[in-house]
Amino acid sequence: MSDPQKLAITTRALNLWYAKFQALIDVTVDIKHGIITSLIGPSGCGKTTLLRCFNRVNERYGYVTTTGEIKLHGKNIYDDDVSLVELRKSAGMVFQRPNPLPISVYENVVFGLRIHKEGGDLKRSVLDEAVEVALTEVGLWQDLKDRLDMRATNLQLEQQQKLCIARLLPLKPEIILMDEPCSALDVEGTRAIEELMFALKGRYTIVIVTHNMAQARRASDECIFMLLGELIEHSRTEELFLTPKNPKTADYIEGRYG
């Protein structure tokens, strides 16, 4: 058992149904703080559903039922005193296709601050600093510092996805959830996002859903293999790919199905 002080996310006997279809079956897992963990498995195996459990995004759908326990840094996210707004600030989400708001680069980065700060009367100097820090963290500051008024949707796709990550950072998340963040990008864009993940890990816990086995192997410290809603195997990435313990894992990574 891992040291609970070093765990970012824990689930115990987690089950989820979309109406009558059970998408997650008794998922119990510990995800360590400050590393990159990949969720892998064939389409429909439950990995995106699991990812979206961590900030309760699935609950936007009225036909979802969840049982079991999820804790982020030791706090049960289903406790009555949990604010969904605060939870989603703590565990921010990056989606498959970049989704910058159709406003300026600057306003994209400060959007969350304006929404979440009481009164919305933050000083310009505070906003300016937040923009510079966030864009620096994602490697965009030098390219965009003189184009902050540019419409964000006019950026290259790679820059748009980096901006979507930057948009999370002023809210000081502890966890960044990424749902196939490179699926819309070319090889160079994918490399840039992976390098950004490496730069952010340690300060942030990163959980990424990917169908790309090469990416999972390159970019993650640990891998979780899922199949038909169940967690089949979870280990260090090199161990899972080189010496999988479960034959179902071996079959998947060797391309026999999926």
Closest to 184 (Cα-Cα) out of 98, 102, 100: 98
d(CA 138, CA 184): 18
d(CA 72, CA 219): 23
Instruction: Please state, in angstroms and as integers, the Cα–Cα distance from residue 173 to each residue in 138, 179, 200, following that order.
Output: 14, 16, 12
Helix (H), strand (E) at residue 233: strand 230-236
Sequence-distant (≥ 6) Cβ neighbours of residue 66 within 8 angstroms: 14, 15, 16, 17, 53, 58, 59, 78
**One-letter identity of residue 60:** R
d(CA 98, CA 192): 14
Closest to 155 (Cα-Cα) out of 218, 210, 113, 109: 109
d(CA 184, CA 94): 13
Helix (H), strand (E) at residue 226: strand 222-227
Question: What is the chain's pLDDT, residue by residue, as a tens digit (258 residues)?
Answer: 344 458 999 999 999 999 999 999 999 999 999 999 999 999 999 999 999 999 999 988 889 999 999 999 999 999 999 999 999 999 999 999 999 999 999 999 999 988 877 545 688 999 999 999 999 999 999 999 999 999 999 999 999 999 999 999 999 999 999 999 999 999 999 999 999 999 999 999 999 999 999 999 999 999 999 999 999 999 999 999 999 999 999 999 988 776
Closest to 3 (Cα-Cα) out of 34, 24, 36: 34
Instruction: Enter the tokens of residue 145.
Output: 């510092």
Provide the residue ranges of all domains of the chain, joining segments of one domain with +: 4-98+174-253
pTM above the 0.95 mark? no
Length of the chain counted residue by residue: 258
Closest to 229 (Cα-Cα) out of 25, 41, 18: 25
Cα torsion 39, 193, 85, 33 to 10°: value is 60
Reported as half-sphere exposure (CB side, CA atoms, 13 A), residue 163 has a value of 30
CATH superfamily of 4-98+174-253: P-loop containing nucleotide triphosphate hydrolases (3.40.50.300)
